[in-house]
């Protein structure tokens, strides 16, 4: 049971990493091509802009602090 859970977790994490790399590639392509990058790339960038504009600044600061705390605890646990 635990081995199948661990395998599923690894596959899901690989999928998340692959999706993040794809998103970074789309952003890079947009930065290089600009307005001529195509409708799909434009829609992805528009959605990212809406997401970034919809998140209030205190929430971003809170997420950064929580991320930093997780990093510090993980480093001390090693």
Q: Tens of pLDDT along the chain (78 residues)?
A: 788 899 999 999 999 999 999 999 999 999 999 889 999 999 999 999 998 888 898 998 999 999 999 999 989 987
Would you give the end-to-end CA distance of the chain in angstroms?
27
Contact 37, 29 (CB under 8 A): yes
Q: What is the pLDDT of residue 2?
A: 81
Distance between CA atoms of residues 48 and 54, nearest Å: 10
Q: What is the pLDDT of residue 10?
A: 94
Cβ partners under 8 Å of residue 34, min gap 6: none
Helix (H, G, I), strand (E, B) or coil at 1: coil
Domain spans in the chain, listed from the N-terminal domain onward: 2-77
Cβ partners under 8 Å of residue 27, min gap 6: 45, 48
């Amino acid at each position: 049971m635990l081995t199948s859970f661990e395998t599923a977790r690894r596959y899901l994490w690989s999928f998340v990493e692959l999706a993040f790399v794809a998103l970074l590639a789309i952003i890079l392509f947009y930065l290089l091509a600009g307005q001529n990058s195509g409708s799909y790339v434009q829609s992805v960038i528009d959605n990212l802009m809406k997401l970034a504009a919809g998140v209030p600044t205190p929430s971003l600061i809170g997420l950064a602090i929580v991320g930093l705390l997780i990093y510090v605890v993980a480093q001390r646990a090693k």
